[in-house]
Amino acid sequence: MIRLLAPGALVAATVAAALITLLHFLSVRRPPVLLLPTARFLSPRDVRAVSRNRKPSDLLLLLLRVLALLAVGLAMSSPNLDSVSSSFANVIVADASWRSDSARLRELAGIDAESDVEVVFTDPSRGMRGELGSAWPAAWRAAAALLADESGIDSVGMHVFAPTAGVESYSGWRAWRLSWPGRVVVHTGAGKAMPDQMPDAMPSAIQVTGGPPDDAVRAGFDMYGHTTVGSSGMSAGARADGLGSATSYRVLVDRTDRRSTVNAVDASDIRSTDSSVDTSAAQAEGGASTVLINWPQNGVPAGWTPVSESAGALVVAGRAIIAPWHRSARAPDSMTPGRNRDGGNAVEGTSDAPGTPDAPIAINTPDARSGERVIAQWNDGTPAAIERSVNQSGGCIRDVGLLAPQIGDVMISQAARALFATLSAPCGAGLEPIPAAISADSGGLANSAPVRDLKDVITRKQNLSPSWLPAALLALALTLLGVEQLLRRQGDMPAGADR
């Protein structure tokens, strides 16, 4: 089927052909000669006159001229030969964290291997975590690329893999959503544990490595690791057998001393590059996600800066733990108020004042660029513990920058329960999930976006297919005109006629 990108040229050529046909009903020729002695009194002018005919004259010439005009018009209208069969394409927009596993996106979206798919990832520095609507520019670009590359596409399906939770803003989503002329499938939490679906989830196992045998941290996890932030009275080890939770995950607590040994330095180096080791450790094992807690017995977590300061209180899950805390590390600058925070994070109480130097960082608000969030902070607002998500596996790494007091009962006190419950909670716990109004929003449209509607928005690249077709049409037109000239010169026209 021929599709014309510029049909106006063909329309113009058709009009011109009609005019030519009309002209063939007029004969411009020398009129009959009359011997008139007073001819000198006529004004000199062209010795041709126009007369009307009932039938078109010179049908062969008319046919050649009309065909030549139509061929030129068709060539100028940018014809495309499309295959008759229609096809369907998909656009998948996902967070940059899916970049390493785009094949699974197709599987999760339920797209067969034969369909054309354009997978795009949102800006890794900000992406959909900062503004869910940021998926749309990428989606439109991908759709335009699909339409430009595949001329036979009839409709385009749209799949958006939104972050599980913790999106800063949805204000741009609605406006963009209205512009897409078809159904949008929003995948939230695909392949990841969804915090809002497991508010009472507890780890199947808590494994503490390193540290002294009588480590207060180990004792704290033993006592409070299997409790939830909101629950009370849950005894330690109650779920240590891994039973009792529909969604299983485990907690690995690394209490390695990272201060004195060479091996520790090497490990720190490895960890400072973030985390290929930690990441692999936090990857799901057998389908269960893992929470890796870096809480060095001595030293600092990777990326943290060693300090030696005192603090009066630690704020965790809305509770303040009053104790003579010793702050041994300072969180990375990206998570520290007033240091290199150039626009990613929302500050407490507002969302429009990023980068305010002394603004404290809100707990449980993930950083839009790195996906990190503060899960515990000192009384001066600086982070005491942060959580970093690890790709789509659902695992995360939590860095703790406080020196656990080994003397006293602070770590096993009732006040410390919130700290250990928070540290052993599932990844992403406490984040705000994607609103159902967005995840279930089809825009009132049941089908994929038809290409004819997308054309109204997308300026398609003028790819001519096949590319030789206009040239062939022009060559045909020139040939026809050449034949027409030849016929005229050979005197096929009536004697005396001059068109």
Partner 1 sequence: MTSTYGPLLDQIRGVRWPTRRAVGAGLPGIHRSLQRGSSGEFTEYRLYRQGDDPRQLDWRLLARSDRAFVRLTDDRALLPTWLLVDGSASMAFPDVDVSGRDGEAIYNATKWRLACSIAVALAAVANASADPVGALCTSVSGEVRLPARARRGTINELGRMLEGLVPGGSAPLAPLLATLKPRARVIVISDLLGDIDELLLRAGQLAAAGGIIECVHVVAQAELAPPDRALLAQDPEAVDVQRVFDGGSLADYRRNFDAFRLDVARRWRAIGARYNEVRTGEQVPRMIRQIVSLQG
Q: Return d(Cα 226, Cα 208) in angstroms, integer.
A: 13
Which of 189, 170, 184, 186 has the alpha carbon at shortest distance from 97? 189
Q: How far is the CB of 54 from partner 1 (least distance, A)?
A: 16
Q: How far is the CB of 43 from partner 1 (least distance, A)?
A: 5
User: Using the 8-state DSSP alphabet, how is residue 415 labeled?
Assistant: G
User: Could you say whether residue 495 binds partner 1 (CB under 8 A)?
Assistant: no
User: Could you say whether residue 41 binds partner 1 (CB under 8 A)?
Assistant: yes
Window contacting partner 1 (CB under 8 A); options: 25-33, 129-137, 235-243, 355-363: 25-33
Q: Return d(Cα 199, Cα 394) in angstroms, integer.
A: 15
Q: What are phi and psi of 109, to 5 degrees?
A: -80, -10
Q: Which of 3, 4, 7, 48 binds partner 1 (CB under 8 A)?
A: 48
R_g of the chain, CA atoms, integer Å: 38
Window contacting partner 1 (CB under 8 A); options: 30-38, 386-394, 445-453, 481-489: 30-38
Kindly tell me which of 237 and 496 has the beta carbon lying closer to partner 1: 496
Kindly tell me which of 33 and 243 has the beta carbon lying closer to partner 1: 33
Q: How far is the CB of 19 from partner 1 (least distance, A)?
A: 22
Is the Cβ–Cβ distance between 369 and 123 less than 8 Å?
A: no
Kindly tell me which of 39 and 262 has the beta carbon lying closer to partner 1: 39
Residues 222-281 that bind partner 1 (CB under 8 A): none
User: Could you say whether residue 287 binds partner 1 (CB under 8 A)?
Assistant: no
User: Could you say whether residue 54 binds partner 1 (CB under 8 A)?
Assistant: no
Q: Return d(Cα 383, Cα 305) in angstroms, integer.
A: 12
- Calculated CA dihedral for residues 316, 318, 322, 326, nearest 10 degrees: 30
Cis preceding-peptide flag for 466 (omega within 30 of 0): yes
Transcribe 181-241 into DSSP letters: -S-EEEEESTTS--GGG-TT---SEEEEESS-TT-HHHHHHHHHTTS-SS---PPTTTTTT
Window contacting partner 1 (CB under 8 A); options: 36-44, 177-185, 308-316, 368-376: 36-44
Q: Return d(Cα 195, Cα 190) in angstroms, integer.
A: 12
Q: How far is the CB of 44 from partner 1 (least distance, A)?
A: 6
Kindly tell me which of 37 and 444 has the beta carbon lying closer to partner 1: 37
For residue 370, what are the contacts with CB-CB under 8 A and spacing of at least 6? 334, 344, 388
Q: How far is the CB of 46 from partner 1 (least distance, A)?
A: 7
- Paired tokens of 86: 């229609």
Q: Which of 5, 23, 49, 330 binds partner 1 (CB under 8 A)?
A: 49
Q: How far is the CB of 36 from partner 1 (least distance, A)?
A: 4
Q: Which of 44, 349, 357, 444 binds partner 1 (CB under 8 A)?
A: 44
Q: How far is the CB of 8 from partner 1 (least distance, A)?
A: 37
Q: Return d(Cα 335, Cα 372) in angstroms, integer.
A: 8
Q: Which of 19, 47, 81, 238 binds partner 1 (CB under 8 A)?
A: 47
For residue 271, what are the contacts with CB-CB under 8 A and spacing of at least 6? 277, 278, 294, 301, 302, 303
Q: Which of 18, 21, 22, 30 binds partner 1 (CB under 8 A)?
A: 30
Kindly tell me which of 48 and 326 has the beta carbon lying closer to partner 1: 48
Q: Which of 1, 32, 308, 444 binds partner 1 (CB under 8 A)?
A: 32
Q: How far is the CB of 493 from partner 1 (least distance, A)?
A: 18
Q: Which of 1, 38, 310, 349 binds partner 1 (CB under 8 A)?
A: 38
Q: Which of 8, 31, 110, 482 binds partner 1 (CB under 8 A)?
A: 31
User: Could you say whether residue 37 binds partner 1 (CB under 8 A)?
Assistant: yes
Q: Return d(Cα 418, Cα 61) in angstroms, integer.
A: 95
Kindly tell me which of 1 and 39 has the beta carbon lying closer to partner 1: 39
User: Could you say whether residue 40 binds partner 1 (CB under 8 A)?
Assistant: yes
Burial of residue 391 (number of CB atoms within 10 Å: 0-12, 13-18, 19+): buried
DSSP reduced 3-state for 82:
coil
- What is the pairing mode between strands 87-94 and 153-162? parallel
**How many residues form the binding site for partner 1 (CB under 8 A)?**
22
In the complex, the residues that contact partner 1 under the rule CB under 8 A are 30-51
